[in-house]
């Protein structure tokens, strides 16, 4: 069965610190990869996505993610976080051609001013 692992449950950073959130998945076929962000009290919003091509994907608000196929990973990064990045971040994986996505359990990011 497919699974998505986000090993960091809660990350606390000071403003301007660099961020990297881990995401690993277990599926050997062709996948589509996503990061969603959920700000406090709000719904999930798409941050960035990878379908094919350049494994380094740039998203909104300065976020980027790198797909490393050999490691089954799609880690999210941001060079300098802001207080407004405080949110929960979800990694999701979809099998190409399938209808549904598999979500990780989420990583809560708290940025201290």
Partner 1 sequence: DAGVIQSPRHEVTEMGQEVTLRCKPISGHNSLFWYRQTMMRGLELLIYFNNNVPIDDSGMPEDRFSAKMPNASFSTLKIQPSEPRDSAVYFCASSLGGAAYGYTFGSGTRLTVV
Pick from 88, 85, 86, 110: nearest CA to 12: 110
Return the residue of 5, 8, 73, 95 that touches partner 1, per CB under 8 A. 95
Return the residue of 59, 94, 109, 111 that touches partner 1, per CB under 8 A. 94
Per-residue exposure over 64-95, b if at least 16 CB sit within 10 Å of its own CB, e if not: bbbbeeeebbbbbebeebeeebbbbbbbbbbe
Name residues contacting partner 1, limited to 15-74 (CB under 8 A). 32, 34, 36, 42-46, 49, 51
Residues that bind partner 1 (CB under 8 A): 32, 34, 36, 42-46, 49, 51, 90, 92, 94-101, 103, 105-106
């Amino acid at each position: 069965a497919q699974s998505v692992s986000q090993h960091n449950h809660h990350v606390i950073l000071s403003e301007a610190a660099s961020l990297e959130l881990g995401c690993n998945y277990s599926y050997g076929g062709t996948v589509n990869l996503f990061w969603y962000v959920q700000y406090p009290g709000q719904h999930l919003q798409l941050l960035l996505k990878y379908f094919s091509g350049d494994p380094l994907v740039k998203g909104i608000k300065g976020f980027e993610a790198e797909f490393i196929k050999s490691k089954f990973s799609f880690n999210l990064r941001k060079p300098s976080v802001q207080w407004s990045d405080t949110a929960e971040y979800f990694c999701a994986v979809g099998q190409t051609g399938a209808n549904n996505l598999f979500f990780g359990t989420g990583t809560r990011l708290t940025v201290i001013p």
